[in-house]
A and B are shown apart, each in its own frame.
Chain A
Amino acid sequence: MLQVEGLTKYFGGVAAVDHVSFTVPEGSIYALIGPNGAGKTTVFNLITGVLPPDSGKISLKDCRLNGLNPSQIAAAGVARTFQNLQLFGSMTVLENVVTGAYLRGSMGFVRSMVRRPGISPEDRALMQYSLGLLSEVGLSDKAGWPAGRLPFGQQRLLEIARALASCPSLLLLDEPAAGLNTGETRELTGFLKRLKEKGLTIILVEHDMDTVMEVADSILVLDFGRVIFEGTPVEVQANPEVIRAYLGEEDEEC
């Protein structure tokens, strides 16, 4: 599904991502873990075109993503959430999701202006669809709220719903469980599994090890921008280097 080869990004002489290569099989949940500052978010920013890589190749199926801008990469089927939430805070919850479905609409600038007043049939269909998504993440009763007023955990869920609204083939989740309580985290875990069953490919950056171990098919461990291990959850848990670099710190971080 996604192939990353020799991905490298320097920030002022320091390699935030250092020759990282991995392949995400279609329909799997692929976890990216590592201590804070390991370069996980930077990998996401490189895949989605927010940052240009210094070197390396990124391809989705047979489509080369290098050099495309973020909106083109979104159009190629990659959706994401943000570690530091980037909701459209003053829009309603529903509007956020409908905006997430931007690529599924077709009304351009002029056609938006010159049309019969009222809701366009296209918008009507997208809203219907978006409400369906909201009910899947359990937010349909908040559809009319301004997104910025949602509790933090629900804002995270809304980001996921917004990302899903474009019907992506690859979903990048940056610490979706951060700030969620235990119950919410459990719901999220179930939701991720359901998404996988539907055939969605997911790359998951997450500090909550229970979640990662439960949903991930394979795990890539980063430290100081370099890959230190790749394997299944069971292999990762048993690897001493990983434990030293990352799992050992878990208590500090939480």
Chain B
Amino acid sequence: MELTGAEILVQCLKEEGVEYLFGYPGGAVLHIYDALYKQDDVKHILVRHEQAATHAADGYARSTGKPGAVLVTSGPGATNAVTGIATAYMDSIPMVVITGQVPTSLIGNDAFQECDSVGITRPIVKHNFLVKDIKDLAETMKKAFYVATSGRPGPVVVDVPKDVTGQSAEYSYPKEISMRSYNPVSKGHVGQIKKAVELILSAKKPMIYSGGGVILGEGCQQLRDFTQKLGYPITNTLMGLGAYSATDKQFIGMLGMHGTYEANMSMHHCDVLIAIGARFDDRVTGNLEKFCPDAKILHVDVDPASISKTVKVDVPIVGEVVEVLEALIAGIDTSESKVDTPALEKWWQQIDVWRAQDCLKFDTESDKIKPQAAIQKVYELTNGEAYVTSDVGQHQMWAAQYYKFDEPRRWINSGGLGTMGFGLPAAMGVQLAHQDKTVVCITGECSIQMCIQELATCLQYGLPIKILNLNNGFMGMVRQWQEFFYDKRYSESVMSVAPNFVALAEAYGHVGIRVEDPKDLDAALDEAFNKHKDRLVFIDVITDPDENVYPMVPAGAGLNEMVLV
């Protein structure tokens, strides 16, 4: 079948099962937009800024496990998408981004809207391609989806010059693809599994530390089986929340800079650390010299480069999380050794002492709205079942601490890059993927303004997202650091001029609610979540501006040196 390059691209997206293509048109991609116009299988979602297209595709991918798809034009279209590509890269999110390019004959001439998209995105993609010959187009798209979704996932950019989309060629989509230079591992090494089982069962003070990799690798059920079989305590990273049920008694909270006291103390004092799909990020480990001083470490990861990158491990296993956990479970079942139950009981007693500190308690009598209370209330109203996206700052940490995720893919946040502006567009992708589910965007008045224009997109596609704007009048997280480490010199962190968010929401055709008095909080949230179920509601919650995120591991400290309040 002879098709134009533009038609081939659309056909490839169909073959890959792409439901939504998030994008924004421009000169270099007009052929592609014309091809999109002539079909209904791939639905195009017109964002208001290309950054939002990448975040929306990212939210779609995080909440479904399927790759996100993006289409932007050359030059400024591609550069606007860069933040979203980097965000996806840092959190290993599968995504294929098609960028238009000037015609091949003009490449290198500083042509109108030309930029070296492949060069600019190289350090923030898993891989990228420039397609100079239409004969390579279909195969390149196949490779792009394969690379984006296999092994450790990540974004892939396909840069397509305009003339390539205009020419015609014979089309057939490859059913299978193999690349001699790319062979992600799946099964863990048998010898290592044996060693790992022995180490796991030798523990007197064990700790399971799991991250986003378990969710990306669809290994949550195996993680639950593994953890429950052993009876060991488990902590999740910011990216791993929901992989293990937050309301289960073996779960001792998130770890790291704003993790729970019990999780961080257990990390510090454990004798065997079982790390699964986590990468020992600096926000997790605190001071590396003081990290898990007495522990032997087992690390399971699909990416060999994650192993012993920052923390030396004793037993590394490279493989897909599902296969490795299943092998470990089988190994535990058949091993001569057994869990040391008396030692484990003692360990739990110690953990319960740490738990009794109740490190997440907060003032419930205040005459100002406490952000924690607002999140708890949303948790109750949504039965803990909402999809929650967030931006970056204090509100993000509170959301992670106070919304207890029992299921994976419900907590959607930019953990690695920490991108303000992520929350609202990500929520669009989530809501499109889960039309009958409640989607909440927990944000701050500074973050939300970074992609506020997407309120128009939400109206266009009827996305009833609930925006919980925890409005403290500050770049709260910046203010907190300035309070602690810069003697309260609040340099440029005061958001003294913010819009009237209620009027703004209404101007965009949505519902706006403002609440300032703790007494009115329940009613306001009830109105937002129940009365206006089918509309986007912007809930502007005026919160206590002095509230800080606790507990906290100060920079340079060990995990056992938390500041509690």
- Are both chains from one complex? no
Residues of B at the A interface (CB closer than 8 Å) are: none
Residues of A at the B interface (CB closer than 8 Å) are: none
